Structure 1
């Protein structure tokens, strides 16, 4: 059994500030669950380019409002409280936060814990885990 409270993560090495966002990584690869779980705050007025070439991600918005724009077709997806979006095709996208947003994010394969986006908006892949299949 693993039990971890958010207050155990805030201020620890599992809290990562990416500029436009702060990710509190509740579960990471070393927890051996096969996925990672993050409580992420997105700062109002920001626009973040992301492209998880090596990961699949599901995001559940629990506070705030914004939108996701998919790069392939420029489609705009409104995101607000109680909305989930899943990047099941390694979708290149931009997240725009109109207000402060709070998200619960799940990554497969799991993050190690300290990753930040590179110039493409990508997290590196852990060579031991490999890439998840493209569904």
Structure 2
């Protein structure tokens, strides 16, 4: 059994911040945990917009707190996000994530992340980022 706390993980290299300051992701479960998915608590900071396009990963996102919206770029649809909302990127959906207040999100990724991934210029996480360093 693996036991971790969010508070302790925040003080380790499992806490990854976007270079542009839009988000922070605390990666509680990663590929090396052997679960077949990774699980993160991510904060999207108020007043930000983040372009995301997980071409290599599927993601389920559950809003714990805060408010914002997600816009799918293929069709321009905007979906409000508030506590209790889940959105599932089952088609590698390219989207914009906007926060009107700090949003705390629980996120599961398949395949699992290694831990150091950040979005590239296209909003993508590399498929095999084992070699990614700080």
Count of matched residue positions in the alignment of Structure 1 and Structure 2: 128
Q: Give the equivalent residue in structure 1 for 2:50.
A: 48
Structure 2's unaligned 5+ residue stretches are: none
For residue 38 of structure 1, report the CA deviation from its aligned partner: 0.3
Q: Give the equivalent residue in structure 1 for 2:3.
A: 3
Q: Find the aligned partners of 2:8 and 2:42 in 1 and give their Cα distance.
A: 15
Q: Find the aligned partners of 2:93 and 2:38 in 1 and give their Cα distance.
A: 19
Match of 1:20 among 16, 19, 22: 22
CA-to-aligned-CA distance 1:94-121 (integer Å, 9 cap, x gap): 0000000000000000000011000000
Q: Give the equivalent residue in structure 1 for 2:116.
A: 114
CA contact (8 A) 2:114 2:129 kept: no
How do residues 1-135 of structure 1 correspond to structure 2 at under 5 angstroms? 1-18=1-18, 19-126=21-128
* Dislocated runs of 4+, deviation >3 Å: none
Instruction: Provide the secondary structure at the position in 2 that maps to 1:89.
Output: coil
Aligned alpha-carbon RMSD (Å): 1.2
Q: TM-score, normalized by length of structure 2?
A: 0.93
